[in-house]
Chain A
Amino acid sequence: MLCDLNVPWPCSTYNTQPTQQQLEVLKNTIVTLYSLGYTHQAINFSINENVRIPVGTPDLINPINIAYLKSELVPRFPKLKLFTRLTIIVSDPSKLQGLAKIQNHFDVLAVQPVNEKALQLCTTNLDIDLVSFNLGSKLPFFLKHKTIGSAIDKGIKFEVCYSTVVSGSIGYANVGDSTNVQLIKKNFFNNVLQLIRASRSKGIVVSSGAVQPLQARNGEDILTLLKTLGLDNSRAKSCITLNAERALISGRLRIKSYKQTVIAGNDSDEVLVEKKDPSKPDTLAYKKRLGDSSSGRLLKKQKRSKD
């Protein structure tokens, strides 16, 4: 059960809607990833911190049309599960006040820090699931064992996005000449090396960031590539399976439960299944008849014996 937590949504602001062609490319990407084995995928909406989030209208906070995608794809590809994710590119920590209001609308929350202060803020105060970096350009700060280790103990995972290396000529079309391309690859290797060293191979999640189906790669191959960079053999497999799954679960628990203590609803076998009926408001969606479940019937019998 492999997870890919970064399939980018074509738009990067709230104003634009994706064109039909872009939606089709997105669908093809999802299907290619599914054929490669990734059953759980999260569609990533990446925004700058300056973008104003329409907190007033709760329906518009999540622009990803997940219902459309699910209705198109899930009937034909039964094991596919789609989730939504938000990534905020942060350079100034004080702009992150509104995080609490939007956190219930996305399944996974991620932050991309640009400077050291933002990184420290992410790993101490915020209630997020993933931290990702822009691996194409040289990281302006040095990754330390302490900060990353404390973040991993808290439950925050670090993301390695391999689209920058794998892009080929199409991905770099708007970047420029080949020397620039080489620089991007060099930076990627350097940054990933630093990350693997500072995290001691724990708490790393590998994701694709594939804008088009060509950029999808087999998970094992990417892990082999990272092994040449020093990723620990025993912890490698968990980068695409366990760690990603855990990031998903912690994101889902944020929505469905109170601080990971009590979860709403007890029908589904796993936390990841979206059982809630979106048409009904909140608690009513979890209401059911006593006779539906075996324990309910037990309760009913008790009640009858009392009366």
Chain B
Amino acid sequence: MSSPLSFHNQHNSMEKRNILEKHLLSRCYDSESIIEQLLDTRYSHGGDQKPVIVFKKTFPEKEKQKSILHREISDKSQTITKSRKHNARLQLRNYIKQTTSNQKKLVHKIQKHNRECIAKSQQIPFPIEAMLKRYRIPRYEDFNNLSHLWQSYMGDLLFSNGTIPTMSVLLPKLSSADYTGCLLTVTQSRNTNMVGTRGIVVVDAQFSFILCVPRSELSKEWNESKESFTPSEMVGGFRMVPKKGTLFSFDVIVPKKISIEEGNENNAADSDDHDDECVGFTLIGSRFEFRAVDRAGKKFKSHTVDDIL
């Protein structure tokens, strides 16, 4: 005949004791009744006093069978995804398109200005510098560093041994080299307007070179002593030169230590920084109509000479 109070006390103590177990069991089982039942079997004075509480086994996420070649990539930004490559190409194309259209607009502006000058018969100089900044036309001088990089790359590629090798060794290396950053001059072309254009290669595309040409005096070989220039020469910027039917020429500077070793009498006398030695080459554009990637492993064969010029 236990008093309702003592039973209540008993009950309370039981409840207080089992909060932790209830919490744990609620992870395994959803319903309260089962939890009560389990706790009864464990903690009751009567009934089967099992010495254990069985927690339901939780099944972890089944791991996918990974191949042995699988590498755990820790840093997401290292991978170059396909979409990123695609975006990069698109961005480059858009940039070039926009720059060329800006150049055209600027040229039109200059022509309009010239027409007005003639109409008013006065010579107002065109504010070229401000305009160039506004239209964000790329400057030739910005690519100087690229050109230097290319010259040192070429110096390493061609003159790595310390002596100047023969042509039969140099030429094959040149045919599979990359020309981004090279100062090219168009010497002959089926399109006579192109002849004389020179600039640093910005993009070595499959069918054309995109050059950044210098302004005014430096734009063409015969312009060095001229006073007045055409609008497009004043603007400079990018030029797209197709490779087909064109011959390009470039020079590779011979590194200082090699030319001195040659032992020429002339060199010993004037081996100062004022005049370097260089070796000149000509590229046949019609034979270079491959991407730089493809050109690396390509075996070249002789073809008909009909399409070279």
Contacts and interface: CB of A to CB of B under 8 A. Distances in A.
A263 B279 CA distance: 12
B147 A302 contact: yes
User: Which 6 A-B pairs have CB atoms at the shortest separation, nearest pair first?
Assistant: A155-B304, A266-B249, A258-B171, A266-B280, A294-B221, A259-B300
Contacts of A290: 251, 253, 275-278
Given A290-B277, A296-B278, A264 B251 contact: no
B53 interface: no
A296 B280 CA distance: 10
B280 A246 contact: no
Contacts of A291: 275
Contacts of B175: 258-259, 261-262
A266 B304 contact: no
Interface string A254-285: 10011111111111010000000000011110
A302 B284 contact: no
B276 A300 contact: yes
Contacts of B164: 283-284, 287
B268 to A, nearest CB: 15
B144 A261 contact: no
A303 B111 CA distance: 34
Interface residues of A, number: 45
B210 interface: no
B144 A155 contact: no
B246 interface: no
20 contacts: A152-B304, A153-B304, A155-B304, A253-B308, A261-B283, A261-B284, A264-B171, A287-B277, A287-B278, A288-B279, A289-B275, A290-B253, A290-B276, A295-B221, A296-B251, A297-B224, A302-B148, A303-B253, A303-B276, A307-B273
A127 B302 contact: yes
B167 A282 contact: yes
A151 to B, nearest CB: 10
Interface stretch (B8-16, B79-87, B182-190): B182-190
B218 interface: yes
B201 to A, nearest CB: 13
Nearest to A248: B305
A104 to B, nearest CB: 8
B183 A265 contact: no
A254 B278 CA distance: 23
Nearest to A305: B144
B282 A263 contact: yes
Contacts of B280: 265-267, 286, 288, 293
Contacts, number: 156
Given A266-B250, A289-B275, A300-B276, A254 B302 contact: yes
Nearest to B170: A283
A258 B300 contact: yes
Contact of A259 (B262, B276, B301): B301
A260 B187 contact: no
A297 B220 CA distance: 12
A110 to B, nearest CB: 15
B66 interface: no
A282 B276 CA distance: 19
B211 interface: no
Contacts of B283: 261-263
A212 interface: no
A249 interface: yes
A95 interface: no
Nearest to A286: B279
A284 B259 CA distance: 10
B155 to A, nearest CB: 13
Contact of B278 (A249, A262, A288): A288
B288 interface: yes
